Amino acid sequence: MSERALLPGLATRHPIGSQLPGLYAEDEFTQRFTAGLDEVLAPILCTLDNLAGYFAPPLAPADFLALLAHWTGAPVARPEAVAAAVRLHAVRGTRAGLAAVVRQVYGVEPEIEENGGAAWSAVSGAALPGAAAPALLVRLRVADPRAVDQAALAALVAANCPAHLPVRVEVTASAAAGPGPTAGTEGESW
């Protein structure tokens, strides 16, 4: 049950007893009965009165924010992640999109290396760029590598890169606490 249903003394703006015909206005049993209904319905009416705030990530209650994160596909249930989810869907499957998701979850700029590429050559029969087998490496340089769950990082990377790329992740200690260099540009894709 949500914490919003447990607020003591939450009053309704629309008591049922005052909306009944005059015949019931003086009936003590009816007024007590409708007051009990008002107490039960007050959290629901309060939620409906403030529904717009539930869909605004900075204002949403924590339990509803988790639901919004699930609905939008945000990697974590934080207001900034939910707010950025639509923008991140536009670049999903690109190097920039992968870097943004990893940066959002871990707070560190990842180093992304992939061996594929697209190029053209004026020479017929020229060697193809990259390696024959596709591969993707995402490296995080953090102050404490033991604090990063590599399985969770690998799952996050796999969920946000093209399905045909085998994923490998590395977490290493950084020389400084600052973010590492990034590979690629905003619009670059695999």
DSSP per-residue string spanning 130-171: S-SS--EEEEEEES-GGGS-HHHHHHHHHHTS-TTS-EEEEE
Place of tokens 């249930």: 77
- Asked whether 63 and 2 are in contact (CB, 8 A), the reply is yes
Residue 183 Rama label (left phi>0; alpha psi -120 to 50; beta): beta
With H, G, I as helix, E, B as strand and everything else as coil, classify residue 111. strand
Determine the straight-line distance between the first and last CA of the chain, rounded to whole angstroms. 45
Over residues 38-77, the pLDDT tens digits come to: 988 988 888 899 899 999 999 999 989 999 999 998 989 9
The model's confidence at residue 152, banded by pLDDT at 50, 70 and 90, is very high
For residue 95, give the amino acid letter: R
Q: For 127, which DSSP code?
A: P
> How many whole angstroms separate alpha carbon 70 and alpha carbon 77?
8
Over residues 12-28, the pLDDT tens digits come to: 888 999 999 999 999 99
> How many whole angstroms separate alpha carbon 33 and alpha carbon 122?
86
Give the model's pLDDT for residue 184: 38
Give the model's pLDDT for residue 154: 95
Between β-strands 136-142 and 111-114, what pairing exists: parallel, antiparallel or unpaired? antiparallel
The strand ranges marked E within the chain are: 111-114, 136-142, 167-173
Please indicate, yes or no, whether the overall pTM of this predicted structure exceeds 0.85: no
Higher pLDDT, 118 or 77: 77
